[in-house]
Homo-oligomer: A and B are copies of this chain.
Amino acid sequence: MPQVGARPALSRSVEDYLKAIYRLALQASPVATSDIAQALDLSAPSVSGMVKRLSEQGLLEHVPYKGVELTDRGRRAALGMLRRHRILETYLVEKLGFTWDSVHPEAERLEHAASESLIERMALTLGNPAFDPHGDPIPQADGSVAEVESMPLTEIPPNSTVEILRVVTSEPKRLRYLAEFGLTPGSILYLVDRQPFHGPVTVRVGRKDRVLGHEMAALVLCRPTDGDQIA
């Protein structure tokens, strides 16, 4: 008899594979096994073996020497994991006072253990949020994912005012660095200047001007605001 609130029993490993493949498929599809190996820090043969088992289970389709794609079942499972992860991160930050740079590993472990009903109760308590603290969209229970148009700071023309929508890193050091500058989702900033050829970007947050390296600025996704007023 299956547990109340339980989900199809996939092992931790399998859940991690599906999540990684989903993410990688957003960049390029089919996904190369070597990319999976790199993402999960595993050897290539380990991934080959697991990929074979997962396709036998109907979670993904594998064309040997070509790559893998998630089946509908595999994608649903991956989206479920992503939902769990992002609801957990949001809950930890909103309700338990964790900082946005510290929640990733905690959510990474809890997402395998939390039941569907726990996640839905957390979501309800949070008012069914559509985005997590990093601005990542939270897949809804029906599998839909909000798509938001955004541009990295490195592509915004100088002299524009933008709202930060999303920060695409889970590295604590970088998250702390950005938060120190006030560069978190929802905040408004004015792009003062941008050096060509992958040079630094100067932004004004509040009254302060900050210089961001190109790599850092590329992680900050924004949307231009209507006016051009300085906050």
Contacts and interface: CB of A to CB of B under 8 A. Distances in A.
A131 to B, nearest CB: 21
A112 interface: yes
Contact of A109 (B92, B106, B113, B122): B113
A125 B96 contact: yes
Interface stretch (A44-52, A97-105, A183-191): A97-105
Contacts of A4: 102, 105
In order of increasing CB-CB distance, the 3 nearest A-B pairs are A113-B113, A109-B113, A96-B121
Interface in A32-56: none
A115 B110 CA distance: 9
Chain A interface size, under 10 / 10 to 19 / 20 to 34 / 35 or more: 20 to 34
Interface of A: 3-5, 92, 95-98, 102, 105-106, 109-110, 112-115, 117-118, 121-122, 125
A114 B97 CA distance: 15
B115 A113 contact: no
A109 B115 contact: yes
Contacts of A95: 95, 125
Given A4-B102, A105-B3, A97 B121 contact: yes
A155 B96 CA distance: 43
